[in-house]
Structure 1
């Protein structure tokens, strides 16, 4: 099945500026999509993320599968999902004592 035939989430293409939107494989790219929307989206995009992927899959990705998010992305994740703490997120645990070289 081509991606154009598949069910796709309702996100504005601006969130995926470096990709050809119509060619995104939403299942294969789920970690990138979750990371991007949590970092740059608002509540309505996060609601669509949960609707499309399911709450458990989003939380699991944030906790265990996304290996890097900037501080603002981690803060957004805990804002959108208050039951989630940064200490539960691999991306925080993995880098909490490692300062960014650009700061």
Structure 2
């Protein structure tokens, strides 16, 4: 069942993505990197589109390209699928681990 939020200050995302947080008390602006990373990792194109609606295209792309320190390989693949203009070679989360072991996934 899709959750429909009336409040424009809250993104229209299912609380299941944020199981460890009090959804009703989240500071969506302060937590934008966590929210964007979580949805890119676990969400669908529909949720990615909601990120763009709520945060704006530029902020989402900037977070994915320059500010999010870690995404697993499948998260990077999802980011590129949702936003084809992104290149993994430009994403901080990819560049940050070049030359570092990453075999636990």
Cα distance in 2 for partners of 1:79, 1:86 equals: 11
The structure-2 alpha-carbon separation of the partners of 1:6 and 1:80, relative to structure 1 and needing over 3 Å to count, comes to closer
The equivalent of 2:20 in structure 1 is 18
**How many residues align structurally?**
99
Normalising by the residue count of structure 1, what TM-score does the alignment of the two structures yield?
0.90
Deviation at 1:99, TM superposition (A): 2.0
**Secondary structure, aligned partner of 1:49:** helix
Deviation at 1:97, TM superposition (A): 2.2
Deviation at 1:55, TM superposition (A): 0.3
Normalising by the residue count of structure 2, what TM-score does the alignment of the two structures yield?
0.89
Deviation at 1:96, TM superposition (A): 2.6
The structure-2 alpha-carbon separation of the partners of 1:24 and 1:15, relative to structure 1 and needing over 3 Å to count, comes to same
Instruction: Please say if 1:41 is aligned against 2:30.
Output: no
Cα distance in 2 for partners of 1:20, 1:9 equals: 14
- Following superposition, which runs of at least 4 residues in structure 1 exceed 6 angstroms of deviation? none
Instruction: Please say if 1:74 is aligned against 2:80.
Output: no
Query: Once superposed, what is the RMSD of the aligned Cα atoms?
Result: 1.4
The equivalent of 2:104 in structure 1 is 102
More displaced 10-residue stretch of structure 1: 67-76 or 93-102? 93-102
Cα distance in 2 for partners of 1:25, 1:44 equals: 22
* Among 89, 92, 97, the residue aligned to 2:91: 89
The equivalent of 2:55 in structure 1 is 53
